[in-house]
Homo-oligomer: A and B are copies of this chain.
Amino acid sequence: MSKSNNHGHAAEHAYHAIKGRLLRNEWPDGTYLRETELAESLGVSRTPVRDALRRLAVEGLVETIPNAGTRVRGWNAQDLDEIFGLRSLLEGYAARLAAQRLSEEEIGELRTLCEEMEAIVARGSEDRSRREALAPLNERFHTLILQGSRNGRLAQMTRQVVSIPLVLRTFTRYEPEEIRRSMSHHREMVEAFAARDPIWAESIMLAHLQAGFAVMKRNQANPTG
C-alpha cells in the first residue's frame, strides 16, 4: 500500500522537482518563476512552493526580489571564477583534512571507485553515455572525501557551491587526453591519502579542479564543439 497521502512531503517534493528542472536548464536565465504556476504544475499549494524557492535562493540557484518574484539566476564569467575559487578552496581543505582522517576502509572504497571509472573509460563507449556512467562515480568520489574531512559544515558548504556548476556540466566535452589526466588525478589522490600526506592530497585536488575548470572554460568559449 502506498501512503494514503503525500502529507509532510510536499515542500520536499517541490524542492527537488524545481531544483531538477533548474539543473536541467529548463528555464532561460532571468525567467520569473511564478508561485501559482509552479504550484499548479506540481499539484500542491503555494505554501510549499514558496518554501522550496527560499531554499533554492539560499543555494544561489535563483534570486528572490521582494514583492516582485523569484527568478532564475544566470552566471557570467566572473561568477564562474568566484565559484571555482571557492570550490577549490573548500575541496582543497577537505582533501587536506581527509588525508589525516579517512579510514582505511574509505580509502579502499576510493580505490575501487578509481578502478570502476577506469574500466568505463577503457570500454571506450560513446562520449555522452560514458559521461553519464562516469558522473555518479565521480560524484561519489568527491563526496567520500568531503565526508572524510569529518567537518559537516565544510561538506554542506561545498555542496552548496558545487551545485551551481552542475548546470553547466551537460555542455562540457572532455578530450581523451583530459579524461586520462582526470583518472590519473584520482589515482594519485588515493595514493596521497594512503600515504597520509595532507599537502600532497590538497595539491593534487587543486590541480584536478583547476584542470576541470580549464576544460569548462574552453567549452564556454566554443559552445558547440
Contacts and interface: CB of A to CB of B under 8 A. Distances in A.
Interface of A: 8, 51, 54-55, 58, 60, 66-67, 82-83, 85-86, 89-90, 93, 151-154, 157, 161
Contacts of A8: 66-67
The A contact surface, by secondary structure, is helix
Contacts of A51: 54
A160 to B, nearest CB: 8
Contacts of A93: 85, 89
A86 B151 contact: yes
Given A8-B67, A66-B8, A85 B55 contact: no
The number of times this chain is found in the oligomer is 2
Nearest to A47: B47
A153 B54 contact: no
A153 B82 CA distance: 7
Contact of A55 (B54, B82, B86, B152): B54
Contact of A83 (B58, B85, B153): B153
A55 B86 CA distance: 22
A177 B162 CA distance: 42
A75 to B, nearest CB: 11
A60 B152 CA distance: 11
B58 A58 contact: yes
A92 to B, nearest CB: 9
A14 to B, nearest CB: 14
Contact of A86 (B58, B66, B157): B157
Contacts of A66: 8
A54 B50 CA distance: 12
A154 B85 CA distance: 9
Contact of A154 (B55, B67, B82): B82
Nearest to A151: B82
B154 A86 contact: yes
13 contacts: A8-B67, A51-B54, A54-B55, A58-B58, A60-B153, A82-B151, A82-B152, A83-B153, A85-B93, A85-B151, A85-B154, A89-B93, A157-B157
